[in-house]
Structure 1
C-alpha cells in the first residue's frame, strides 16, 4: 500500500520541534517537516508560498499547518494539487482575526512590535520570576528557532495584512476552545478541541495523534 505523504508546517518563528510529539501510523502515513526560509527582499506571501511548494516532492500530499503555518499552507494550495489541507490553531480568512489584529492593521501598530524580544529570548529569562514563567521561556527557547530580524518583520506583517476574506470550504480547521491568539468566538466551521490552547500541538498531542489519521482518511473522529 502506498503511504500518504503528510507535510507539516510550524507556526511563526517556530521550529519543526513543535511536532516532536505527533506520531501518525507508519504503516499508512509518511511524515515530512517543512522549515521556514528567510524571505527574499519585498517577497509577497504568495511568492513565498509558491517558493515553498518546491519542497513538496509528492503529488496530492496532505498539508498540515499550525498558526501562521496554517495561513501559509492555504496559500501553497493555490499552486499544487493536494489531498487535504488541515490547519491547527489558525484562521481560514482575515474575518476570523480578533479585533486587536484588525486594529493593528488599521493603525499599522504591528510595525511597533518589539521583535528584538523574540530575537533574544535568553535575555528575557533574567527578568522573569516564578517557576511557570521560566518553564514557558524554556519552551520558547526550544521551539522558537527563527530569530532573523528580516523574517520576523516580514512574517508579522504577512499575518496582519493577509487579504483572504473567503474561507476555502475544503480546508479542515482544528481549533482549541481556549486559544488566546485566535479566540474561538471569531472562528467558524471548525473541529473544536476542548481545553485546547494556541500551543495545543504540544499539549493536546494525544488527541491529535488519535484523530489526525481519521481526519485525513475522512473517517469519524472523537
Structure 2
C-alpha cells in the first residue's frame, strides 16, 4: 500500500520546526514540510498560494496548516486537488475573525504595527521580563524563521484582508478553547481541544499525535 503524503504548513513567519513533536506512523504516512517564501512585490494571496503549491510533488495530498498557514493551505486548494485539508488554530473564513481584526481592516490600523519589534528578538531578550516571558522569547526566537520586514508587512495585511467570507465545510478545523488570537467564541464549527492555546501545535502535541491519524484516515 502506498503511503499517504501529508504536507505541513507552519504559522506566520514560523519554521517547520514547530512540527518537531508531531509524529505520524511512517508506515502509513509520508510527511513533508512547506516553508514560507518571500512574497513578490504586490503578490496576491492567490498567486502566492500557486507559487507555494509548486513545492507539492504528490497528487491528492493531505494539507495541514497552522494559523496563517491554515489560511494558505485553503487557498492552495484553488490550484491543486487535496485528499483532505486540516487547519489548526486558524479560521475557515473572515467571518470568524475577532472584532479587533475586523476593525483593523476597516481602519487599516495594521499598517501601524511596528514590525521592527518582531525582528529584534535578541534585543528583547536582553531585558529582564521575568522567567516566563523570557522563555516565551526564547521559544519565539527558536521558531521564527522569516525575519524579512516586507514579508511580515505582507503577511499581516494579507491575513487581515482575506476575502473568503464563506467556510468550506469540507475543511476540518481543530481549535483550542483558550486561543486568544482567534477566540473560540467566533469559531462556527470545529474539533475542540480543551486547554489548547494558539500555540497548541507545541504544547498539545500529545493530543494531536493521538488524534491526527484517525482524522486523516476517516472518510
Counterparts of 1:89 and 1:128, CA distance in 2: 30
Query: Quick check: 1:51 aligned with 2:51?
Result: yes
User: 1:131-170, aligned counterparts within 5 Å?
Assistant: 131-170=131-170
The corresponding residue for 1:7 is 7
Counterparts of 1:166 and 1:133, CA distance in 2: 37
The corresponding residue for 2:177 is 177
Query: Quick check: 1:217 aligned with 2:217?
Result: yes
The corresponding residue for 1:80 is 80
Alpha-carbon deviation of 1:129?
A: 1.8
The corresponding residue for 1:23 is 23
The count of corresponding residues between Structure 1 and Structure 2 is: 219
4+ residue segments displaced more than 4 Å? none
For 1:85, what is the secondary structure of its paired residue?
strand
Counterparts of 1:143 and 1:42, CA distance in 2: 26
Q: Give structure 2 stretches of 5+ with no counterpart.
A: none
User: 1:119-134, aligned counterparts within 5 Å?
Assistant: 119-134=119-134
For 2:174, what is the secondary structure of its paired residue?
strand
For 1:55, what is the secondary structure of its paired residue?
coil
Alpha-carbon deviation of 1:122?
A: 0.8
Deviates more, 1:98-107 or 1:210-219: 210-219
For 1:22, what is the secondary structure of its paired residue?
coil
Alpha-carbon deviation of 1:190?
A: 0.2
Counterparts of 1:168 and 1:127, CA distance in 2: 44
Counterparts of 1:2 and 1:107, CA distance in 2: 50
Alpha-carbon deviation of 1:31?
A: 0.4
For 2:83, what is the secondary structure of its paired residue?
strand
TM-score, with structure 2 as normaliser? 0.99
Counterparts of 2:122 and 2:180, CA distance in 1: 24
Alpha-carbon deviation of 1:127?
A: 2.6
The corresponding residue for 1:191 is 191
The corresponding residue for 2:105 is 105
Alpha-carbon deviation of 1:115?
A: 0.6
What's the Cα RMSD here?
0.7
